[in-house]
Amino acid sequence: METLVMIKEVGAYSERQYKRQDGSTEYFKSRGVTMKRGGDVIYGEMIGELASKNRDTQFQQGMPYIVKGFWKHRTWIDQQGQPRHENTFYITDIQTL
Protein backbone atom coordinates (compact mmCIF):
# COMPACT_ATOMS: atom_id res chain seq x y z
CA MET A 1 0.00 0.00 0.00
CA GLU A 2 1.23 3.49 -0.81
CA THR A 3 -0.64 6.55 0.39
CA LEU A 4 -0.39 10.23 1.25
CA VAL A 5 -0.53 10.94 5.01
CA MET A 6 -0.02 13.75 7.49
CA ILE A 7 2.16 12.97 10.51
CA LYS A 8 0.32 13.40 13.82
CA GLU A 9 2.85 11.95 16.23
CA VAL A 10 6.11 9.99 16.14
CA GLY A 11 7.20 7.70 18.93
CA ALA A 12 10.69 7.19 20.24
CA TYR A 13 13.02 4.58 18.78
CA SER A 14 12.96 1.36 20.80
CA GLU A 15 15.14 -1.76 21.01
CA ARG A 16 13.87 -4.79 22.92
CA GLN A 17 16.13 -7.76 23.59
CA TYR A 18 14.87 -11.31 23.05
CA LYS A 19 16.25 -14.84 22.71
CA ARG A 20 16.06 -16.57 19.34
CA GLN A 21 15.11 -20.25 19.10
CA ASP A 22 18.79 -21.12 18.71
CA GLY A 23 19.54 -19.37 22.05
CA SER A 24 21.31 -16.34 20.59
CA THR A 25 20.37 -12.81 21.62
CA GLU A 26 18.61 -10.54 19.13
CA TYR A 27 17.08 -7.07 19.28
CA PHE A 28 13.64 -6.10 18.00
CA LYS A 29 13.95 -2.51 16.72
CA SER A 30 10.90 -0.32 16.18
CA ARG A 31 9.56 3.21 15.92
CA GLY A 32 5.84 3.97 15.82
CA VAL A 33 4.13 6.69 13.78
CA THR A 34 0.56 7.99 14.11
CA MET A 35 -0.68 9.32 10.75
CA LYS A 36 -3.83 10.95 9.42
CA ARG A 37 -5.24 9.89 6.05
CA GLY A 38 -8.38 11.81 5.22
CA GLY A 39 -10.68 11.25 8.21
CA ASP A 40 -8.80 8.13 9.35
CA VAL A 41 -6.06 7.97 11.95
CA ILE A 42 -3.61 5.10 11.38
CA TYR A 43 -0.85 3.77 13.61
CA GLY A 44 2.07 2.23 11.75
CA GLU A 45 5.40 0.84 12.82
CA MET A 46 8.85 0.90 11.27
CA ILE A 47 10.78 -2.20 12.31
CA GLY A 48 14.29 -3.58 11.88
CA GLU A 49 16.81 -1.67 9.79
CA LEU A 50 14.27 0.96 8.67
CA ALA A 51 13.61 1.82 12.33
CA SER A 52 17.37 1.97 13.01
CA LYS A 53 17.96 4.16 9.96
CA ASN A 54 15.23 6.57 11.10
CA ARG A 55 16.00 6.48 14.83
CA ASP A 56 16.96 10.20 14.88
CA THR A 57 14.88 11.42 11.92
CA GLN A 58 12.80 14.45 12.83
CA PHE A 59 9.45 13.92 11.11
CA GLN A 60 7.46 17.16 10.93
CA GLN A 61 3.95 17.06 12.39
CA GLY A 62 1.27 18.29 10.01
CA MET A 63 3.49 17.86 6.95
CA PRO A 64 2.57 15.53 4.05
CA TYR A 65 4.50 12.29 3.58
CA ILE A 66 4.24 9.37 1.19
CA VAL A 67 4.20 6.17 3.21
CA LYS A 68 4.55 2.64 1.85
CA GLY A 69 3.81 -0.48 3.82
CA PHE A 70 1.67 -3.55 4.32
CA TRP A 71 -1.09 -4.73 6.63
CA LYS A 72 -0.80 -7.85 8.73
CA HIS A 73 -3.71 -9.53 10.52
CA ARG A 74 -3.62 -11.78 13.56
CA THR A 75 -6.31 -13.63 15.46
CA TRP A 76 -6.09 -14.81 19.05
CA ILE A 77 -8.37 -16.07 21.81
CA ASP A 78 -8.82 -13.68 24.76
CA GLN A 79 -9.07 -14.64 28.45
CA GLN A 80 -12.85 -15.09 28.11
CA GLY A 81 -12.35 -17.56 25.25
CA GLN A 82 -13.56 -15.12 22.58
CA PRO A 83 -11.75 -14.75 19.25
CA ARG A 84 -10.07 -11.35 18.84
CA HIS A 85 -8.62 -9.70 15.73
CA GLU A 86 -5.93 -7.11 15.20
CA ASN A 87 -4.61 -5.33 12.11
CA THR A 88 -1.11 -3.88 12.14
CA PHE A 89 0.42 -1.58 9.52
CA TYR A 90 4.15 -2.07 8.95
CA ILE A 91 5.91 0.85 7.28
CA THR A 92 8.48 -0.12 4.62
CA ASP A 93 9.28 3.41 3.35
CA ILE A 94 8.41 6.98 4.31
CA GLN A 95 9.36 10.06 2.28
CA THR A 96 8.52 13.76 2.37
CA LEU A 97 6.26 14.93 -0.41
The pLDDT value recorded for residue 24 is 92
Residue 73, pLDDT > 90, answer yes
Bridge partners (DSSP) of residue 75 are 85
Give the mean model confidence (pLDDT) for residues 76-80.
94
**Which CATH code is given to the segment(s) 2-96?**
2.40.50.140
Q: Parse the chain into domains and list their residue ranges.
A: 2-96
State the chain's mean pLDDT as an integer: 95
pTM: 0.84
Dump the DSSP string for 18-72. Answer: EE-TTS-EEEEEEEEEEEEETTEEEEEEEEHHHHHHTTT--PPTT-EEEEEEEEE
Residue 97, pLDDT > 90, answer no
Q: Give pLDDT tens digits for 2-32.
A: 999 999 999 999 999 999 999 999 999 999 9
